[in-house]
Amino acid sequence: MKINLNPTRFTDSKEFGIASVDKNKPSDFKRVLFDAINSVEQTEKKALAMDDQLAIGNMENIHDMRIASMKADLTLNLAVAIQKKMISAYKEIMRMQF
């Protein structure tokens, strides 16, 4: 399965757990990666909390819970796709001969 992503589509959106990056300021790769992982974790926690509320009967609108669950699934799938791409790039760099 090939995933085509348009990075300009998500640069200003935190809706899917992607931190926006200021192109005028140098970014620390470690910080950007840490922020992205944290946003995935927060999205999953929100979905789990809404799932718990539904289970105990405090949720009035099941659609909100389902939307939060789908956002969490989407951000996790995006994180996994990025991880696979990074591993592939690392392996390619390791195969290079200097």
- Domain residue spans in the chain? 39-98
- pLDDT tens readout for residues 68-89: 999 999 999 999 999 999 999 9
Beta strands in the chain (DSSP E): none
Matching residue, tokens 């760099």: 93
Print burial letters for 58-81: b (CB count within 10 Å at least 16), e (below 16): eeeeeeebeebbebbeebbebbee
- pLDDT tens readout for residues 30-43: 888 889 899 999 99
User: Under DSSP, is residue 20 helix (H, G, I), strand (E, B) or coil?
Assistant: coil
DSSP state of 13: -
Matching residue, tokens 């195969």: 95
Model pTM score: 0.64
